[in-house]
Homo-oligomer: A and B are copies of this chain.
Amino acid sequence: MPRNSPSDARRGRRAAQEGARPSVQDVAKLAGVAVGTVSNVLNNPDRVTEFTRRKVEAAIAELGFVRNFAARTLVAGTTNTVGLVLVDIGNSLFVDIARGAEAATAASGLKLLLANSDVDQAKQDAYLELFDQAQTAGLLLAPLDGPLDAARAIARRGRPIVVVNAPAADPDMCCVAVDEQLGGYLAAHHLIAQGARRLAFVGGPLHLHAIRDRLDGARQAATEASLDLTVIETHALNVRDGRTAGGNLLRQSRRVDGIVCASDPLAVGVINAAAERGVGVPDDLVVVGYDNNHLASESLIPISTIAQPGLRMGEVATQLLLEETQNDPDHRHQTVVLEPHLIARRSSQRRRPTTNRLRTP
């Protein structure tokens, strides 16, 4: 009969290999205990004598032992990790969402892993699949404006997934949305309250749900005040397009005096165009942006904007996800709609607010 068990032989072989990472077996052998004991030191320290624990910990330190996450996951069937797929890591709204999610997951002892889909549907789907395969406790998705089939498939397979900044409510999963229409309404309404009477909306492309909703809201506010709304559709939401649109608007004879922009960079561009033409902001023209990006507050003329509650979006989404994780039998998918709010800064605040009364001759 062989003196050494097969197991011992394997250990010996592994020990011979230089680069091999130590396993619980190696730790157990060095500490002179059984593997179960090592596992207990790691997972149920209470069940182990102080003395034994010390011995094991010393062995762990000496060997530089690191648990194998894959093996743990395989046994447990799940992980304490949440995956978040972001459509654009360069946009501060999504960064805020990530921060909110981080805070909420950390509070529950979970780790948050991020992936950037970079406005690429294929990448988005690939990362969703990766997180699904990796047995994450759940998934968060800040999607691009496209089909959510991959997310739905994951949801149907039983892995909790929450869509944050959702384009629309979805029966297959929980969503966190923001009332974009309200945002557009607030922006236009604010400009009207500041005395603007010749309104314009700058933003695009209009096939994006969010942009169109903002436009609809702005239009509603204009209609309520019996005002027209000139619409300039832009190609993108950046500074350059804002400058172009602003230039076009301000060149017209019947000059607008209030512009709702669908993003803060657009507002910057519009304000730059105004400055070039000697149109004073906010005295001759009031402007409001959207998203409360960093540059809105840091411009020379601080820009009024519609702030999305990014942090709360991340927190709420995580909250919904955790509820779903807890496998509550009567969990119903729901869509939480959060409200944006106006942050009034210089770009829309006349020194002496012009009201209707003052403007009548």
Contact = CB atoms under 8 A, between A and B. Distances in A.
Interface in A120-150: 123, 126-127, 129-130, 132-135
Contacts of A35: none
Nearest to A271: B300
B89 A157 contact: no
A320 B205 CA distance: 40
A32 to B, nearest CB: 23
A123 B118 CA distance: 25
Nearest to A117: B102
Interface string A272-290: 1001000000000000000
Given A19-B158, A113-B114, A153-B64, A69 B135 contact: yes
Interface stretch (A51-59, A90-98, A249-257): A90-98
Contacts of A130: 69, 81, 111
A71 interface: yes
Contacts of A90: 92, 95, 99, 294
A123 B99 CA distance: 13
A355 interface: no
A40 to B, nearest CB: 19
Contact of A70 (B21, B115, B129, B135): B135
A202 interface: no
Contacts of A126: 111
A20 to B, nearest CB: 9
A203 to B, nearest CB: 17
10 contacts: A64-B153, A64-B156, A70-B71, A71-B74, A74-B74, A98-B116, A99-B118, A102-B116, A112-B116, A114-B114
6 smallest beta-carbon distances between A and B, as pairs: A70-B73, A114-B114, A69-B133, A295-B295, A69-B134, A70-B74
